[in-house]
Amino acid sequence: MDYKQKHKGETVFKKWFLNNRFSIVLVNILLFFLIIWVFNKISFVLNPAWVFFSAVLPPLLLAVIQYYIMNPLVDWLERKARVPRVLTIVVLFLFVIVVLIWIINILVPIVQNQINSLIKNWPHIWDDAVNATQNALSDPRLHPVRGSIKNMIDNTQKTLFKSGQSAINTTLGNISSAVSIITMVVMTLITAPFILFFMLKDGHQLRPYITKFAPEKWQPSFSKLLYDINYALASYIRGQITVAFWVGVMFAIGYSVVGLPYGAALAILAGFLNLIPYFGTPIALIPVIVIAIMTSGSMLVKVLVVFVIEQTIETRVLSPLVMGNKMAMHPVTTILLLIGASSVWGLWGVIFGIPIYAILKIIVSRVYNYYRRESEIFSETDAASLTTGDADKTTKNTAK
């Protein structure tokens, strides 16, 4: 019996409201915004919870990132070599301490000297860039656009000066905020290792523990939902950090080979900015091009060659090997998501936009599939095919 025959004798109310897909969607949207409106009205009740969450988030976030990096090795050694988890965790902590000591003693002084030199010489580099631009504008062929370009340069200088002055005034006028930030950083660095230790030790028990709170008939589906969310987050965090690390290494090697000034600092900057998909590397290339132009014309060509080689290795070898298509996101979706999230939440939107989207996508798709199976407004054929498809996926995952 199909959907039309089953509901042939229904009243208009049932046909157009109770069993109508469009009406159900509108009601759900209305309820969604009603919930938001209610939460907005009782925001004073939620403010203490938000303050608590803001204080706990930094160390928890740092611990989660380190957990996703270290946990595969801990699991593998426990499963294959029968090494106790606590022993592996202690060895990893000691290794991290040794690496940090090496970074502080060797790498930090080199980068610090280059950053200090770059800050000291940046006004001269900028003046040279402005003079070179003005000399280029003396060409008679650029006379029609000379005034516009000169005004743009003057406006840029004024904007940079005002921004720097405003930043200095804000810093000096908010000593209490600076103290709060320093306190937060110190507390994060102190508490994150303890959180990380217990996450590595007992993290594999978290999913079964949370699953027990769900109704018994929903526990298998809820456990699979938690697994999918964990897998998406782990794939994204491990992939992004791995790609960013090797991008920094490739740029460091390339800049050292061509002899670019401040190469180590610029390579580290490129590695950090590569955490922003699609936009990070082009942004990091801007100061590199400015410094290369001020050094020599041949240096600009060398830098561009390094950039082309790095992009070829990253896009053809590194990213497909590390990331693959684990996030199942189209590049256009990623770009639009980053633009929208950065416009609404700024830097936090750029950092958290993609993983939050991935989590919401998994939750919404599972809720929608459940709704299609259980709701009467979908035909029995659709529901049966959907159930069969989910069963096939479950069988494949079990086989894997």
Mention every residue, 6+ apart, whose C-beta is less than 8 A from residue 30: none
Q: 126: number of CA atoms within 13 Å, CB side?
A: 12
pLDDT recorded at residue 134: 67
Closest CA to 238 of 59, 73, 56, 60: 73
Mention every residue, 6+ apart, whose C-beta is less than 8 A from residue 12: none
Q: How far apart are CA 323 and CA 278, in angstroms?
A: 14
pLDDT recorded at residue 273: 87
Q: 32: number of CA atoms within 13 Å, CB side?
A: 6
Q: 391: number of CA atoms within 13 Å, CB side?
A: 7
pLDDT recorded at residue 116: 80
Which portions of the chain are predicted below pLDDT 50? Answer: 1, 3, 171-172, 174-176, 381, 383, 386, 388, 391-392, 394-400
Query: What are the sequence ranges of the domains in the chain?
Result: 63-123+170-212
Q: Contact at 8 Å (CB) between 375 and 387?
A: no
Q: Contact at 8 Å (CB) between 267 and 233?
A: no
DSSP designation for 203: G
pLDDT recorded at residue 395: 43
Helix (H, G, I), strand (E, B) or coil at 59: helix
Structure tokens given for 177: 């905020």
pLDDT recorded at residue 32: 83
Structure tokens given for 243: 């790609």
Per-residue pLDDT tens over the stretch 270-324: 888 888 877 788 888 888 888 888 787 788 889 999 999 988 888 888 877 776 5
Structure tokens given for 133: 């631009």
Structure tokens given for 307: 């950039």
Q: Give residue 29's identity as a one-letter amino acid code.
A: I
Total residue length of the chain: 400
pLDDT recorded at residue 391: 47
Phi first, then psi, for residue 161 (nearest 5°) are -65, -45
pLDDT recorded at residue 94: 93
pLDDT recorded at residue 175: 47
Phi first, then psi, for residue 152 (nearest 5°) are -65, -40
Q: Which residues of 292-329 are buried (b: 16+ CB within 10 A; e: fewer)?
A: bbbbeeebbebbeebbeebeeebeeebbeebbeeebeb
Per-residue pLDDT tens over the stretch 117-161: 777 777 777 677 667 666 666 666 656 666 666 666 666 666 655
Q: Contact at 8 Å (CB) between 392 and 379?
A: no
Q: Contact at 8 Å (CB) between 77 and 83?
A: yes
